[in-house]
Amino acid sequence: MRALIPAVAAAFLASSAFSAPPSDVGYDIVEGLTTEVGQRLAGTEAEARARNWAVARLKALGFANVRIEPFDMPVWVRGAETAEIVAPFPQKLVLAALGNSGSTPDGGITAEVVGFSSLEALKAAPDAVVRGKIVFVSHRMTATQDGSSYGYFGAARRTGPSIASNKGAAAILIRSIGTDHHRVPHTGVQNWTDGATPIPAAALSVPDAEQLERIIARGKPVQIHLALTPRMTGVHPSGNVIAEVPGRDPKAGVVLIGGHLDSWDLGTGAIDDAAGLAITTAAAKRILDGPKPKRTIRLVWFGAEEEGGFGGDAYAKAHGAEKHALTAEADFGGDRVWQFRTHFADPKAPLLAELTTALGGLGVGPGSSPAHGGTDIGPMVQRGTPVIDLEQDGTRYFDIHHTADDTLDKIDRAQLNQAIDAWTAMLRVVVDTADPLAALPPQPQEN
């Protein structure tokens, strides 16, 4: 029978059912990375495989100086996670631990729930109300095109656990920082601040959070049994993968672009952030295939963004003293670019008019607020590097963000290609502009 297997396999592969789509640099990166690596949690063996995949792909595309720049980071991994309402209406809840969550003892914990409709309400609560309880924060976020609601509502995830811990809570559950109504929880990072002791911290799916709200509103004491077994595994290597389009004039400064290679562990990281890698890499590849630009493009596939921007910090530490003409990152999914923003030393820089002309043809106009970049390029922006944000449509981004649903089928190829066109138009201008791109004064560190 053994001899038959290759023949059967060959016949199967020859059928058109699984044939590959036509070659396309951007889409092929998302498809390849999500299929051949899958999830790539920061600091794990999966992220190391992703780095090797990245090096092979970037070399194959013809980029110069392709290399890995390693750094170390503390690594958190998910364990088992279950929750159920024990009283008054017994039923299971769907949840996912938040990054750096503490764990419950063996067998889990059972405790009374105390609910808050916002992070402000939790902050205002006396410690005695919270002590020994499972805190539930049901802050609800709505979708916006620019994604700006994430800044405010995301605080329930980023700082809620430390606030609850410092008030003596046994654990914290938050309503997912998401805009969908699927029974799929949204994970994401939180950090223990102000000396907070790690406690179990998890996000309920939006329907589960709404169910718990209704049960609490019935007015009877609510008991939950919670078992979470994530753990810190120690300090392990992560790394940035770097590739370049060499420029003619080393004194003109580097154009730093990229996205992040790591993903959360629940989905396969298609929109967050294989799409950003695809957009920036496909655009840089078009410059690589054209006349040699004045400025060098440095493309970075940053490691360990999700767990706290370790890759961006490592990059700035290694390269912060080099002259950077400009920076931009793509970490907001795969949908179309609808607006651009800039932050230049000269608000009337000639480059602004050049960009307005180049992007206007794609239906992308200038916005009214300054660009700020994201987590990966943030440390370079703080050092005064001029920055451009090509803002992508975020209307559906937080339906999928950090969930098991972040998979390849969510990529809209037409929108991905529009974003690549916009990035290409932007890069064509900035690599050769005569604008001196003066540095800005360093910005104070945000917290």
Minimum gap (Å) between residue 402 Cβ and Zn ion: 6
Residues 386-425 that bind Zn ion (CB under 5 A): none
Please provide the size of the chain in residues: 447
Q: Which residues of 147-181 are buried (b: 16+ CB within 10 A; e: fewer)?
A: bebbeebbbbbbbbbbbbbbbbbbbbbbbbbbbbe
Our CB check for Zn ion shows the closer of 189 and 362 to be 189
Provide DSSP, 176-225: -S-S--SS-----B----TTPPP--EEEE-HHHHHHHHHHHHT-S--EEE
Minimum gap (Å) between residue 58 Cβ and Zn ion: 19
Residues 192-211 that bind Zn ion (CB under 5 A): none
Q: What is the Cα–Cα distance from 178 to 56, expressed in whole angstroms? A: 35
- 366 SS3 class: strand
Indicate whether 47 belongs to the interface with Zn ion (CB under 5 A): no
Minimum gap (Å) between residue 186 Cβ and Zn ion: 10
Minimum gap (Å) between residue 222 Cβ and Zn ion: 31
Our CB check for Zn ion shows the closer of 259 and 386 to be 259
Structure tokens belonging to residue 348: 């009337």
Region from 206-214, 244-252, 323-331, 378-386 binding Zn ion, contact rule CB under 5 A: 323-331
Other C-beta atoms closer than 10 Å to the C-beta of 413 total: 13
Structure tokens belonging to residue 352: 């602004």
In 4-159, which residue ranges form alpha helices assigned H by DSSP? 4-14, 25-36, 45-60, 119-124, 127-130, 149-153, 155-158
Size of the site for Zn ion (CB under 5 A): 3
Cis before 273? omega within 30: yes
Minimum gap (Å) between residue 404 Cβ and Zn ion: 14
Indicate whether 262 belongs to the interface with Zn ion (CB under 5 A): no
Indicate whether 273 belongs to the interface with Zn ion (CB under 5 A): yes
Closest CA to 261 of 241, 281, 279: 241
Structure tokens belonging to residue 166: 């410092």
Region from 231-239, 248-256, 314-322, 324-332 binding Zn ion, contact rule CB under 5 A: 324-332
Cα three-residue angle 18-23-28, rounded to 5 degrees: 80
Indicate whether 307 belongs to the interface with Zn ion (CB under 5 A): no
Q: Please, which residues have CB within 8 angstroms of residue 413's CB and are 6 or more apart in sequence?
A: 24, 27
Our CB check for Zn ion shows the closer of 260 and 295 to be 260
213 catalytic residue (yes or no): no
Our CB check for Zn ion shows the closer of 116 and 301 to be 301
3-state helix, strand, coil in the chain (%, to 5): 35, 25, 40
Distance of CA 60 to the CA centre of its chain: 26
Our CB check for Zn ion shows the closer of 300 and 437 to be 300
Our CB check for Zn ion shows the closer of 262 and 354 to be 262
Region from 47-55, 174-182, 214-222, 327-335 binding Zn ion, contact rule CB under 5 A: 327-335
Indicate whether 331 belongs to the interface with Zn ion (CB under 5 A): yes
Q: Considering only residues 28, 272, 335, 432, which one is a binding residue for Zn ion as defined by CB under 5 A? A: 272
Region from 8-16, 111-119, 216-224, 272-280 binding Zn ion, contact rule CB under 5 A: 272-280
Structure tokens belonging to residue 76: 């958190």
Minimum gap (Å) between residue 161 Cβ and Zn ion: 17
Minimum gap (Å) between residue 310 Cβ and Zn ion: 13
Our CB check for Zn ion shows the closer of 187 and 296 to be 187
Our CB check for Zn ion shows the closer of 41 and 283 to be 41
Q: Which uninterrupted H or E stretch holds 64?
A: strand 64-77
Region from 167-175, 193-201, 267-275, 423-431 binding Zn ion, contact rule CB under 5 A: 267-275
Q: What is the Cα–Cα distance from 302 to 289, expressed in whole angstroms? A: 23
Parallel, antiparallel or unpaired: strands 201-204 and 171-175: parallel
Minimum gap (Å) between residue 188 Cβ and Zn ion: 7
Residues 50-79 that bind Zn ion (CB under 5 A): none
Per annotation, catalytic residue among 47, 81, 305, 354: 305
Region from 39-47, 136-144, 265-273, 408-416 binding Zn ion, contact rule CB under 5 A: 265-273
Give the binding site for Zn ion (CB under 5 A).
272-273, 331
Write out the catalytic residue numbers: 305
